Amino acid sequence: MLDRLTLPPLPTLQGEHVILRGPRGSDVDDRLRHPIDPEEEDGYGSSWRREWDGRRYHTREHLTASQRSPDPGAYTWAVEYAGRCIGRAGLGVDADQHCATYTVGLFAADLRGQGLGREVTRLVLAWAFDVLGVHRVQLEVLASNTRAIRCYLACGFRQEGVRREAQLYPDGWKDFIVMGLLHSEHEPQAEIAG
């Protein structure tokens, strides 16, 4: 029987181009500078952002409230690039089962396609496996989000199944792909700063 994982405070993770750190008040201003991109928001599973009449909400109050993470084992990083917050990454850890659920989203559309999502994902995976000691990291991704799926595959995740018509969006039911990566499949990265 494995002992329960010890859950340290949120670390700062330093990559070549990005820094993963705790949230700051200025992150809300950085987010508000970028318009909502409905297709991209929906692409990383944020159907909850859309009201059924097609309106979207994007307020300072909502963004400020979403920065709070009182749950033990819920790690939420701000993704910093060139001194600005450009997205968020999260790792929900089940300390008893030695597994975690990964999320990531970059809201700066002009920075997509430059490998930053892969860098963020690799930083979080390296910390989860090599420092925290989880056995498994899993995620779900909207089946139509091919950019994210390519990123996850490049970082070592494997497709494990499909949750058919798993969420109702304003334009219909959507499938989600379940992906996972085991500690034994993870290739350790170079030293983690932070």
Say which residue the tokens 């494997």 belong to: 158
pLDDT tens track, the chain, 194 positions? 789 999 999 999 999 999 999 999 899 889 888 877 766 667 655 555 555 555 555 677 767 777 665 677 899 999 999 999 999 999 999 999 999 999 998 988 889 889 999 999 999 999 999 999 999 999 999 999 999 999 999 999 999 999 999 988 877 899 999 999 999 999 875 445 44
Contact 18, 122 (CB under 8 A): no
Tell me the pairing of strands 158-169 and 84-94: unpaired
- Hey, what domains does the chain have and what are their CATH numbers? 13-185 (3.40.630.30)
* Bridge partners of residue 102, in order along the sequence: 91
CA gyration radius for the chain? 16
Contact 124, 13 (CB under 8 A): yes
Q: Please state the pTM of the whole predicted model.
A: 0.88
Classify residue 127 as exposed, middle or buried by CB count within 10 Å of its CB (0-12, 13-18, 19+): buried
Please state, as a whole number, how many other Cβ atoms lie within 10 Å of the Cβ of residue 71.
10
**Distance (Å) of CA 151 to CA 24, 51, 92, 104, 121:** 27, 29, 20, 11, 8
Structure tokens at 175: 């499938």
Q: Which of 89, 66, 114 is nearest to 19 (CA)?
A: 89
Instruction: Give CA 13 to chain center in angstroms.
Output: 14
Give the phi and the psi of residue 39 in degrees, each rounded to 5.
-65, -45
Residue 65's pLDDT is 72
